[in-house]
Structure formats: C-alpha cells, structure tokens
Amino acid sequence: MASQDSDQTTTDQLAFQDPTKRYPVISPPAESLPGTGLDAEMTPKADLGEKSYRGTGRLEGRKALITGGDSGIGAATAIAFAREGADVAITYLPEEEQDAQKVAEIIRAEGRTAATLPGDLRDKAFAKELVDGAVDQLGGLDILVNNGGKQKAAEFEEIDDEQLEATYDINILAMFRLVRAALPHLEPGATIINTTSIQAYQPSPTLVDYASTKAAINNFTKGLAEALAPKGIRVNGVAPGPIWTPLQPSGGQKPEDLPEFGQSTALGRAGQPTELAPAYVFLASPESSYVVGETLNVNGGMPTP
Ligand code: NAD
Ligand code: MG
C-alpha cells in the first residue's frame, strides 16, 4: 500500500508543518516478522530520515556508539548523528547485517566513518569487545546511546524464564555493562543517552516484563546521571511512544493490534523513527550542557508524570 509509506517525505525536520499530517496514519498488516525483524521487510516502510534529516553541524567530530543502530530509532539516530558531523559505530545482531550495511552506507555517504560491530548484548564479554572495537575504529568515544532492546507481547502467564531473562539482559543489564566498559574512554563533555519508553509510566498488561525494564532504565538514568555529572559526563534518556520500527511487527505487538498501531495518541498516528532523532541529537550535543538526568518524552501526546 504505497500511499501509507512513510519514507517519501521530501521536507526536512526543520520545515514548519502540521504534526498531525507530517506522516500518514498507518494501518500495518497483522503479521509477525521472524526474529528481531528487518527494516528492509517492513510494510509500510519506516522513515529513518534517509531523505529527510538535515544536519546543522551540531556533532562535528564527535564519536558515537549506538546499540541497535541497524534499524528503527537507533538507525534514525545513527543517520542524524552522521549528518550532524559525527563518526558512528553501530551494533546489532548478526542476522541484521543487511539493515546495518544500509545505515553504514548512508553514514559513509556523509563522509563520516561508520563501524559495523555485530554481536549479542546478552553475551557478558561482548560489552568490552564492542567498546574496544568502536574506540579502535573511530579513534575514541564520546557518545554512548544505549538503545538496543527486546519487546515481546505476551500474557503475564506466558512469560517464561527464558523471555524474562532475555528481556532484562538486553534491556537493562547490558546498559550497566556497556557503561562500565565505556567509562574509561569517556572524557568531560561526553554523553550517555538511554532509550526508555512510555511503558515506564503506562505499562501494558501484555508487556509486564518489558515495561518494568523501562521503569528500571528511567531510574538507572537518574542515578547514573548523579554519579557521572561531577566527572562532566551527562546522562539522559529518551522515552518514545508508539514508533513504527521492526520491533513492533516482530512480536512487540500482538499481530491483531498492528492495524491500529499508534492511532490512540493525541496526534492520532504512529511516530516515525526519524522523529526521535532530534531528541538524541539535542541530548548528545553541547547545547544541552545543563540537562542532566532528564527523560525526554517523544510520544505524540501520551501524558507522563
Ligand atoms: P528495532 O527493532 O529497530 O531496534 C531494536 C534493536 O535492538 C534491534 O535492531 C537489534 O539490533 C537490537 N537487539 C535486540 N536484541 C539484541 C541482542 N540480543 N543483542 C544485540 N542487539 C539486540 O526497534 P526500535 O523500536 O527502534 O527499538 C529501539 C529502542 O526503542 C528499544 O530499546 C525499544 O525498547 C525502544 N522503544 C521503542 C518503541 C517503539 O514503539 N518502537 C517505543 C518505546 C521504546
Ligand atoms: Mg534491527
């Protein structure tokens, strides 16, 4: 259904526009993509900002590592960071190589360095390997975006130990390990940005494991921000609402809920990944120098505390 496709925007994010109409209301098919899902296989297409994100030099020369940078919010952030002048390392699961290479190509087309570092965030040893790989290929590190995540919709009784442990490992434990590994490389002015969720405040009955990791991420963000601010390292979070990314049609929602995805927001439509990118750019850039321990909600108008 081409008219629903969201990647055809010709105006950039700085063009004045009606937010209810910036993107169409989408009605995705009730399907379930295998594994973590591929951006390349999404119907309708998501907008990662390939054609629409315009940089204004806000991250000139910075070096960023983004987990889950192959698709969705992480990919849109990676593209935006490169357009703002940063070199970018992305990590993702090996089976997402196709998506990762597309993002890397866009980064390189900006004349920036792209490092593609596949691996599993559940693997304890990977955190250090990943940080070392990013530092090695980019020549340093000053932005860490903890964004990779797992969401599987299930009734509470269906959440077995395997799902529970995977969700906690990927969503919150990996953040501790990555920050620990990154810290020795981070200098004053460096920033850490964690992806949390509207689910931290409004847990869905079918996402009890996931939502509780997101509440933990909010608290982790505030505590870590207090711990690192004296060193000149700022920590903040971004809490997305319903955003059209592979996580949703690969089990993040029950298939029967997909056709109405995002329509209950105040704007009446799902968000596109590139609509999140400016929040990450702001929190990564020096212009947010006095913003510490904050969670920026980007959710189309879903009330938060
Ligand atoms: P996405 O599927 O595009 O990105 C998630 C990425 O996590 C995947 O691409 C994958 O590379 C990575 N990942 C998952 N398991 C991994 C593992 N074991 N090892 C390494 N990497 C792994 O979906 P997205 O929606 O862009 O997700 C990004 C973040 O945004 C997640 O933390 C998610 O919880 C959060 N979020 C998404 C929404 C939404 O509506 N899409 C809303 C709120 C929060
Ligand atoms: Mg992916």
Separation of CA 150 and ligand 1 centre (Å): 6
Q: Ligand 1: which of 23, 73, 117 to mutate, most ligand atoms within 8 Å of CB?
A: 73
Which ligand minimizes its atom distance to the CA of 167?
1
pLDDT of residue 195: 99
pLDDT of residue 11: 83
Fold of 55-298: Rossmann fold (3.40.50)
Name the residue at shortest CA distance from atom 44 of ligand 1: 197
Residues with Cβ within 8 Å of 153's Cβ and at least 6 positions away in sequence, in order, are: 204, 206, 207, 251, 252, 253, 254, 257
Over residues 122-136, the pLDDT tens digits come to 999 999 999 999 999
Which ligand minimizes its atom distance to the CA of 46?
1
Name the residue at shortest CA distance from atom 29 of ligand 1: 147
Over residues 150-161, the pLDDT tens digits come to 999 999 999 999
Alpha helices in the chain (DSSP H): 72-83, 97-109, 126-138, 161-168, 174-182, 208-228, 277-284
Over residues 179-205, the pLDDT tens digits come to 999 999 999 999 999 999 999 999 999
8: confidence class by pLDDT, cuts 50, 70, 90: low
Per DSSP, 150 falls in state -
Which ligand minimizes its atom distance to the CA of 245?
1
End-to-end alpha carbon distance in the chain: 37
90: confidence class by pLDDT, cuts 50, 70, 90: very high
Over residues 59-71, the pLDDT tens digits come to 999 999 999 999 9
Active site members: 210
Burial call 120-130: b when 16+ CB within 10 Å, e when fewer? ebeeeebbeeb
Across the chain, mean pLDDT equals: 96
Over residues 218-274, the pLDDT tens digits come to 999 999 999 999 999 999 999 999 999 999 999 999 999 999 999 999 999 999 999
| Residues with C-beta less than 6 Å from any ligand 1 atom | 36-37, 68, 70-74, 92-93, 96, 120-122, 147-151, 170, 195, 197, 240, 242-243, 245-248
